[in-house]
Amino acid sequence: MTFLSYIWPRLVLSTTTEFNHDIRVIEESGEAKLLVDGSRQSGAYIRRLWEGAFTKFHIDRTVAVGKILVLGTAGGSVIHILRNLFADSPITAVDIDPVMITIGYEHFGLKELSDLTVVQKEAREFIGETLSKKVHYDMIVVDLFSGRDIPSFVYSVKFLRQLAGVLSERGILVINYLRERQYGEKSDVLFAALQTLFLSVSDHKAYRNRFFYARNRFGVIKYAHV
């Protein structure tokens, strides 16, 4: 990082892929931030959103968490938070865009994290394969954004059932969603769907985002089969 970034932002990288348009890595005040279509994907603002959500959902070092799955890497802000909270938990991160994965490694410190496996694959495909292999995770974080857009399957009952099937019996599911524009009504649909699948569901609204927390209080997953 350069001293000049404290005076004015410096463009570090600008590119476009078939999955994400107008990707920009900007150095500002000594820190890198990631923008896609002008929307912040990583950096101090995103960290504050996630930290607020985890505080609201009482996710801290006292929670027993083994294997963690993160769907959507971006610059890895939530991955860094999870590594800080759960130092000994293996983390698997999945992203469809190989360029975004490279950006996370080269500009946002993912290569410095221990016990992190990054997989280049579409999220639904990965979850489907994981379900068929009967592999389970103790915590799943869904952070699937392309700029201001979220894939429509994120709030589909089929996908949510698959996530429930991949969670361990007492696993935690956290979803980062939006509540502006067309996503306001969809976020309500997502909340209602989660309530049919899990015994304990809550949400946390922060600026344009709406975070969801779901857990099976008694270790029993309802409607987990696809």
Which tens digits make up the pLDDT trace of 32-77?
999 999 898 888 899 999 999 999 999 999 998 999 999 999 889 9
Q: Report the interhelical angle of 123-132 vs 157-166 (nearest 10°).
A: 50
- The whole-number pLDDT of residue 222 equals 40
As given in the structure block, the two tokens for residue 163 are: 């996530």
Q: What is this structure's pTM? A: 0.91
Between CA 143 and CA 67, with CA 126 as vertex, the angle to 5 degrees is 70
Q: Is the pLDDT of residue 224 over 50?
A: no
Q: Over the chain, what is the mean pLDDT?
A: 90
| Band (218; pLDDT cuts 50, 70, 90) | very low
Which amino acid does the sequence have at 88? D
Q: Is the pLDDT of residue 2 over 80?
A: no
- The whole-number pLDDT of residue 155 equals 93
Q: Is the pLDDT of residue 139 over 90?
A: yes
Which amino acid does the sequence have at 9? P
- Taking residues 178-189, what's their average pLDDT? 92
- The whole-number pLDDT of residue 181 equals 82
CATH architecture of 40-215: 3-Layer(aba) Sandwich (3.40)
As given in the structure block, the two tokens for residue 109 are: 């410190």
- Taking residues 164-188, what's their average pLDDT? 93
- Beta bridge partner(s), residue 39: 36
- The whole-number pLDDT of residue 1 equals 52
Q: Is the pLDDT of residue 223 over 50?
A: no
Instruction: Tell me the DSSP string of 55-113.
Output: HHTT-STTS----EEEE--TT-HHHHHHHHH-TTS-EEEEES-HHHHHHHHHHS-GGG-
